[in-house]
Structure 1
Amino acid sequence: MPSTLPPRHPSLPLAGKTALVTGVSRRRGIGFAVAAKLADLGASIVVHHHRPHDLDLPWGGDDLDAVRAGLREHLTDGARFADLPGDLSDPSTIPALIDTAAALTGDLDVLVCNHAKSGGDGSILDMTPERLSAFWEVNTRATLLLTAEFARRRAPRTETPRRPGDRIAGSGPYDEAQGHVFWMTSGQIHGAMIGEVAYAASKAALAGVTATVAKELLELGIVLNTVNPGPVNTGYMDPETTDRSLDGLDEYLASTPFGRVGRPQDPAELIGWLATSSGSWVVGQVLTSDGGFSL
């Protein structure tokens, strides 16, 4: 059914749009900051969360009621909000998640695959089939399946599988982007991530396939970009909740140009701009937003 939300206004470029952001269960998280930014720009917001994952980590789980209340404060007039739980390691949850998000207003315009499995990783000597699969299922497979389900809503139906080199038949040229998808990768594209082999491998796969999927989605008018937010303190660099050594961190940060690591709002600002028509000319890129850490 068509959206009943008001038309877009220049000061609210995402008014009338609906965004699904996965992995939003902590107020200090990147997902929360992204959802808040998209809401500030006028979008209706659907967030996905899987709190049991957070409860197993040193920084713990947040109060979901407080998360909901915090995001509702960012909604503009006429915008709507919903949240959904789900274990994305189970692929059967993905179609329902996309369908339910689209049902909020009648369409789904922005997909931000922010979810990630962390914790329980190790060095190459610690790798097992089970550990590698656990990170692949959540970080890589779920992201690809969410993107596929999002894209199918705008794609012509076909009964035969496409062969290598076959183009997806869209209905372009398009006056504007028909949707936006964002993937999140990590610092493995710039250097070693010691002791995080399974995580780095799962995220490297997304960075590596970005151009391929972006080319296919563009036939449907959908713009895909991948964001590497660099080191962002979402609680894992707090002394009381860290899962790693922080020896020498303060001294190192004091030597950097900005004297700090990233804040969740840093990548959120980038994603917010890319989700508007102004950012739609940036397509198929793996973008690093890290204040120069990779340099």
Structure 2
Amino acid sequence: MTSETRVAVVTGVSRRIGIGYAIARELLATGAKVLVQSWTPHDAEQPWGSDPAGMDGVLESLGGVGDRLHHVEADFADPAAPAWVMEQAVGRFGHVDVLVANHARSNRQSLAELTAAELDLSWAVNARASALLTQAFAAQHDDRRAGGRVILFTSGQHLAPMPDELPYAISKGAIQQMTLSLADALADRGITVNTVNPGPVDTGWAGPELARRVGRSLPAGRWGRPEEVARVVRWLASDEAAWITGQVINAEGGFRRWVP
């Protein structure tokens, strides 16, 4: 199967500075067709805010909606949203070969601040939606098409604590735990399942002090770049990675957690 015939779903594409955008651009550059999902109200409520150009600007800089690019807004707090997103991709392009579940809900809560509502919402968006997206992907996948790929995202919670972001850490840590089981469930169908831990990536969310500390904790003296993560995803989605499954890829530039 050539890259020109591949179809990918990439979630969490709403800011040109983001990882999801870089992944979508990288896959489009290989010739793939891509459906991108966004949920812009989440960005709007975060300190970093929405993309200044809005989703229209994001899509335009990806080449514009057309024969090779489609877009949907979907809130993964809704348990029906993952299956609906996959249905939209199949309806538009006929099939899906690659799922990249890059989306995330972020909210800072320490143990003292922890609420059941935020735990439930973070779990629903980050962990439950990733599992249900994988289920919906597998349900539509034609196993006669080689190259089925599921690529999930965690954030290193299996390597170090995040006590000030407990709902996020708990829900994203579940991705690392589900990877091997999902991979085993789909291995006999020729579908690989892997997870990327990109480490600290400069997507415009960190303040100056955190940016300095993280930079000192990376051997290169800088944060990772979205395009570097996108290249890892492109490889995992390619035929070259067909023998890799059930793995968490820690592509984080030798992050030393933390250098004072």
Verify same fold: TM over 0.5: yes
CA distance in 2 between partners of 1:267 and 1:29 (Å): 10
Alpha-carbon offset, residue 257 of structure 1: 2.4
On the 8 A contact 2:14/2:21 being kept in 1, the answer is yes
CA-to-partner distance for each residue in 1:149-195, whole Å, 9 max, x for gaps? 1111238xxxxxxxxxxxxxxx7xx8943x10111001211111130
1:102 maps onto 2:74 in alignment: no
Task: Give the Cα separation in 1 of the matches to 2:252 and 2:170.
Answer: 20
Would the alpha carbon gap of residues 220 and 252 (structure 1) be closer, same or farther in structure 2, given more than 3 Å must change? closer
Which amino acid in 2 is paired with 1:83? H
Question: By how many angstroms is 1:284 displaced?
Answer: 0.8
Distance 1:136 1:198 in 2: 7
Percent identity among equivalent residues?
A: 40
Q: 2:14 aligns with which of 14, 20, 25?
A: 25
1:90 aligned to 2:78? yes
Give 1:154-233 correspondences, 5 Å limit.
154=141, 176-177=146-147, 179-233=148-202
> Counting helix residues as a fraction of each chain, which structure ranks higher?
2
Match of 2:204 among 219, 235, 250: 235
Q: Name the SS of the counterpart of 1:99 in structure 2.
A: helix
SS of aligned partner of 1:104:
helix
Q: Is the 8 A contact 1:187 1:193 kept in 2?
A: no
**What's the CA shift string for 1:88-107, capped at 9, x where partnerless?**
10012222210111122211
Q: 1:129 to 1:250 in 2, by over 3 A?
A: closer
**Residue from 206, 230, 233 that aligns with 1:268:** 230
In structure 1, C-alpha distance between the alignment counterparts of 2:234 and 2:25, rounded to whole Å = 10
Contact 1:258–1:291 under 8 Å retained in 2: yes
**Would the aligned equivalents of 1:190 and 1:294 in 2 still touch at CA under 8 Å?**
no
- Structure-2 separation of matches of 1:127 and 1:215: 34
The alignment's C-alpha RMSD in Å is 2.1
For residues 52-71 of structure 1, the C-alpha deviation after alignment (integer angstroms, 9 at most, x for no partner) is 11000011011111100111
Q: Is the contact between residue 80 and residue 104 of structure 1 (CA under 8 Å) also seen in structure 2?
A: no
CA contact (8 A) 1:18 1:102 kept: no
* Matched AA of 1:236: W
Q: TM-score, normalised by structure 1?
A: 0.81
Q: Structure 1 residues 195, 255: closer, same or farther in 2, change over 3 A? A: closer
Unaligned runs of 5+ residues in structure 1 are 1-6, 9-13, 156-170, 240-245
1:255 Cα offset (Å): 6.7
Gaps of 5+ in 2: none
Shift of 1:32: 0.3
Letter aligned with residue 103 of structure 2: H
Provide closer, same or farther for how the CA distance between residues 252 and 116 of structure 1 changes in structure 2, counting only shifts above 3 A: closer
Aligned residue pair count: 255
Q: Tell me if structure 1 keeps the 8 A contact 2:201–2:226.
A: yes
Asked whether the 8 Å contact 1:15–1:79 carries over to 2, the reply is: no
| Amino acid aligned to 1:35 | A
Task: Give the distance between the partners of 1:139 and 1:56, measured in 2 at CA.
Answer: 17
- Distance, in Å, in 1 between the alignment partners of 2:79 and 2:217 is 45
